[in-house]
Amino acid sequence: MSATAQYQAAAGQIAGATESQMFGKPCFKIDGKAFTCFFAECMVFKLGGDSHSRALALEGAMLFDPSGKGRPMKAWVQVPAAHAALWPALAREAAAAL
């Protein structure tokens, strides 16, 4: 399964989630608030607390910097496709944190 399909499956299973755009990238929102997006074959999650720390500790994960200008969004963690098996759980945690 492609990374794009894995992203759609992970976020699309969240109750109330709708597809949208954020910074010109595909995202999923609940009640107009984004909780995940897809960027550079990675799934990006808006997380806090322990969920944020665990996601950021994954190999290859980093804070999301959509501009590429060294201004990362501190609550958002970019998780590479190597960890796609964890994407559904992270999507649920991100949605629950809204």
Annotated domain spans of the chain: 3-75
pLDDT digits (tens, 9 = 90+) for 44-73: 999 999 999 999 999 999 999 998 899 999
Hunting for tokens 């994960």 — which residue is that? 61
Whole-structure pTM value: 0.94
Q: How far apart are CA 95 and CA 81, in angstroms?
A: 19
DSSP letter (8 states) at residue 58: S
Q: How far apart are CA 69 and CA 46, in angstroms?
A: 19
Reported as half-sphere exposure (CB side, CA atoms, 13 A), residue 24 has a value of 3
Confidence of residue 23 (pLDDT cuts 50, 70, 90): confident
